[in-house]
Structure formats: C-alpha cells, structure tokens
Structure 1
Amino acid sequence: MALAAPPDLSDTDIPVQRVARTYARGLYIEPHAHEWGQLLYATSGVMWVETPSEALVVPPQRAVWLPPGVSHGIRVVSDLQMRNIYLRPALAATLDADVQVIEVGRLLRELILGLVEQGEDGEAAYYDALVGLALLELRRAKRSLLKIALPAQSDRRLLNLCQAVMTTPSLAISFEQHADSAGASVRTLARLFKEDLGMGFAEWRRQVQLATAVAELIQGVPVSTIARELGYSPSSFSDMFRRALGVAPSRFLSQSS
C-alpha cells in the first residue's frame, strides 16, 4: 500500500494522519518540520534520522517520536517500507516533549499498521479505540539509546564529515581520508570535534559504530559480519563492544531485553 500524496495536516479535526511509502537505499530527505507530532516507523530497512542536535539509527524494531516543530532529515541506509503516523498537536502534547527512539513490540507494531491501513474512513468507534490504545502503548514503550550527538551546523565541513562516517563507519577509512574529503585539515577538524562535540574523532566514530552494530544485531546480522563491515576482526570488535556496553555482542539482546 502507498499513499501518493502527503497527509493534509491542515485538518485538525482528524486526530491522526498516516502515510505509507517505499524509500530506496541512498535517498536523503532534506531537513523539514511539521506542526503535528510524527512517529517514524519502517517495517523493514534501516534509516538514520538527523535532528539539529543528534542522529538516531532506526532499525525495524524501533521507531522515532518527533514532537511538533522538530526539524529532521532522513538518510536511508537500506530500502525502507515506511509507515508513518502524524498526531495533531493536542494529541502530540500527551507524549514526550523531546525526540525519542522507541522500542516497538508486537502490539505497538500491529497498532501502527492498523492505523495506517484503517485510517479515519473506517468504523469510528474502532478507529478511536486504535488511536487510544496506540497512545497508551507509545507512553509505556521502552526508550532506546541509539542516539549520536551531531555538531552545530555553523561549520559545514564538520557536519559533512560526520554524515560521511554515519554512511560508512568502517575503520578502513581514516580520519585523514575523511578530512581530505571534507576539505579541511586534520588539525582543524580535531579542534572542531572537541569544541562542538566534546570528544575526539575516534570516540565519536566508535559511538556511531556501536549504534550501527546494535541496529544490525537487532536485525539478526551475525557478529562476524558486523565486525567485518566495521573494519574489525571478530575478537577486536567483541572487545570494543564489551568495553563500551559491558556485555559481549553475542549476549547483548538477551541482556537488554
């Protein structure tokens, strides 16, 4: 199913709007904002959602809650089957006031799909019940930590470098290579990392690698494959992961559930 036109967010008599689309790998949706709250959810595929202050990696078992007015861009990592829900401002005010990555369990997933498929054209009582239960599930769902700090956009070179790392976080590309592509010296970018993000390049990239690894573990990608994609041997990747998160990648999902 796909909705050809964007939802009409001028009609505030409707509590929820929805959209279903397919986005191809490599697509970048430029930053924009809505007056309504938005729940970004994909039934398959992975995306990075970028806000003015952070980037969030979103696999299929996660969704992103965006309060009204939050600017956001979307970087499509793999083909997405998107199912988005928009909440009118009065309803959005009953949820978090800041951006959240939300863990999507089976019930919440079915409620999102039901709202997208049912729409406001179905039986009113059933539709209202879906909306009410979806809001309850959104409030009680676990919040995730798949967030990465982004720099202020005052220096485009640093932001370009950060976006390049999110696209390809492998150790195979050095800081010097990233700096050359961004059009700035290593010294300048090292200073900007410290000033804007409070950490060095290596630490920031490691956070991106960890977020990427967690997203892939959630999808069932083998640890050896993740390690290879990120430029590690399996043992060195496991050591890095364990030092950062306190548990081996092979046991992460069972420990965090």
Structure 2
Amino acid sequence: MALAAPPDLSDTDVPVQPLARTYPRGLFIEPHAHVWGQLLYAMSGVMWVETPHEALVVPPQRAVWLPPGVPHGIRVVSDLQMRNIYLRPALAATLDDRVQVIEVGGLLRELIVGLVEQGDQSAQPAADAPQYYEALVSLALLELQRAKRSMLKIPLPDDSDRRLLNLCQAVMAAPSLDISFEQHAQNTGASVRTLARLFKEALGMGFAEWRRQVQLATAVAELIQGVAVSTIARELGYSPSSFSDMFRRELGVAPSQFMTNR
C-alpha cells in the first residue's frame, strides 16, 4: 500500500499542512501524537479514533479534531478515504482544547478537499494561489469554529490493565449482542467478576451500559451512511423492534427518524 509522504511539521511558515491517504479495512495505526493540531476527515469509510480517555467513531460527514499533543490510534472499520489537515499550534489554539467529533457540512467538506488539493505539490499554482489559499484557510477555521459537535464518543479505560482495554477494543470491533460478556472475559483471560469490577472502577458503569453506548455510536455511524435500520439491528444482534425500542429509549427518537431530526 503506497502512502503519501508525511507532512513536514517543522515548517512553521505555512498555516496548515494537508494530507490525503487511503487505508484498507482492518488496519490499525499505533498510537502517536503531533505537535500540530490535526483534523481527521473520512470522505468515505468508517474509523474508530482512540485517545487515552475515549474512542470516537468517525463515519463520512464527521471529522475528529485533535488538539496538539493528544496521543491517538486509528482502527479502520471499512476501506477509508481520509483527508487530514494539520494546523500549526498558533492556529490550533483558536479551536477546541479538547478532542471533538465535528459534523462536516457541505461547505466545510469542500474547504477540506480544497485545502488538500491546494497542498498538492504537483499542481501548478495560479497567480492568485497565495491569496486563494489564505482565504481557504481563514474560511475553514471559521467553519470549524461554528460546526456542530457530535455525540459519537465512548469512554475508554487507560492501559493500566490491558485485559479491560483489550475487552473494550474487542467490543468496538464486534459490538453484537451475540458475543456475551462471558465470551469476552474468556478471550481476555480474566474472570467475569474481575472484569465487572474493573468496568465499574475505570468507567463508572457496567459492561451492558458501556456496550450499549458503543452500539448506539455504531448505529448512528451506519444511519449516516444510509444503512437500513433492519440491517443495523441484525448486525448488532437485535430484532428490528427491540433495536428501535433501545434506540428510542436512549436517544429519544426512533432510528428511522434520527436523520430527519438532525
């Protein structure tokens, strides 16, 4: 798999560094951090972005904002067309100082794509390229500042007990009810009782509640992509009616109405 060259984040004369990359399903990018802020945008495909305290599911029409210095790993759920925008620290300071999932509207999407295209060194710059580029950067910042923040966040434990973190990562990879807590515990080599205690201590909730949050985030990501409610229910191990009841109870609206209410 050929990857684009990484951006030169030592060049502080430029305000942003754009990067386009394609990743295959199943790839895991080990945790790392950048001195610049980073916007991760999925043009197509879905990824989980894991930070020290939470996991964020990122379908198309969503992006993750990572302030400078935040460690993060990426799990690619389906073939991914990613567009990255790195912002030098001075510009990053004008945005959130916490990790956020951002809803990407039509204008913001075109601005991200435009910045990546302008950053293509093989393109021949026009005479007005510097002014156009600066305008793109300024408007993109304004759009990022005003964009809606999304709920697709899941709390994660730290790595002080790898058994618990491994279980959480396994559930995010396969959140279906068909895989029981007992099966997950057996796979991690810990007792059900020990893992139940660790869940309460590390995350302040039980396994069933935490998995339900993962299922809801997964369901929302698939609804955004236009997947049928019946298909989502089946993938998560529910009947259509029981899934709809759970979704409505947790989010206050039926899954069939979720996107029309956005």
TM bin, normalised by shorter chain, reads: over 0.9
Stretches of 4+ aligned residues off by more than 3 angstroms: none
User: What's the CA shift for 1:4?
Assistant: 2.3
Q: 1:245 aligns with which of 246, 251, 254?
A: 251
**TM alignment of 1:161-200, pairs within 5 A:** 161-200=167-206
Whole-Å Cα distance in 1 between the matches of residues 98 and 60 of structure 2?
21
Deviations 1:151-210 (A, max 9, x none): 121000000000000000000000000001111000000000000000000000000000
Deviation at 1:3, TM superposition (A): 6.0
Note if 1:132 corresponds to 2:104: no
| Secondary structure class of the residue paired with 2:175 | coil
Once residues 190 and 65 of structure 1 are traced to their aligned partners in structure 2, the CA distance between those partners, rounded to angstroms, is: 32
In structure 1, what is the Cα distance between the partners aligned to 2:3 and 2:17?
Answer: 11
Q: Deviations over 1:22-65 (max 9, x none)?
A: 10000000000000000000110000000000000000110000
Cα distance in 2 between the residues matched to 1:185 and 1:154? 17
Unaligned residue ranges in structure 1 (runs of 5+): none
2:149 to 143, 147, 166: 143
The yes-or-no answer on 1:214 pairing with 2:212 is: no
Counterparts of 1:1-257 in structure 2 under 5 Å? 4-119=4-119, 122=125, 123-255=129-261, 257=262
Separation of aligned partners in 2, 1:156 and 1:12: 38
In 1: Cα distance, 2:158 partner to 2:48 partner: 17
* CA–CA distance in structure 2, aligned partners of residues 42 and 221 of structure 1: 17
Q: What is the alpha-carbon distance in structure 1 between the residues aligned to residue 21 and residue 4 of structure 2?
A: 8
What code does the residue aligned with 1:89 have?
Answer: P
- Amino acid in the other structure paired with 2:116: V
Question: Does structure 2 retain, via aligned residues, the 8 Å contact 1:3–1:19?
Answer: no
CA RMSD of aligned residues (A): 1.0
Aligned mates of 1:96, 1:87 — CA distance in 2: 12
Letter in 2 for 1:70: V
Q: Counterparts of 2:60 and 2:4 in 1: how far apart (Å)?
A: 22
**Local SS of the residue matching 1:131:** helix
Q: Give the distance between the partners of 1:171 and 1:186, measured in 2 at CA.
A: 16
The answer to whether the Cα contact below 8 Å between 2:3 and 2:22 also exists between their aligned partners in 1 is no
Q: What TM-score, normalized by structure 2, do the two folds share?
A: 0.96
Contact persistence 1:119–1:127 (CA under 8 A): no
Alignment partners' CA distance in 1, 2:210 and 2:23: 28
**What is the SS of the residue equivalent to 1:152?**
coil
How much does 1:85 deviate? 0.3
Paired amino acid for 1:161: L
Post-superposition shift, 1:120? 7.7
* Alignment TM-score, normalising by the size of structure 1: 0.98
8 Å contact kept, 2:29–2:74: yes
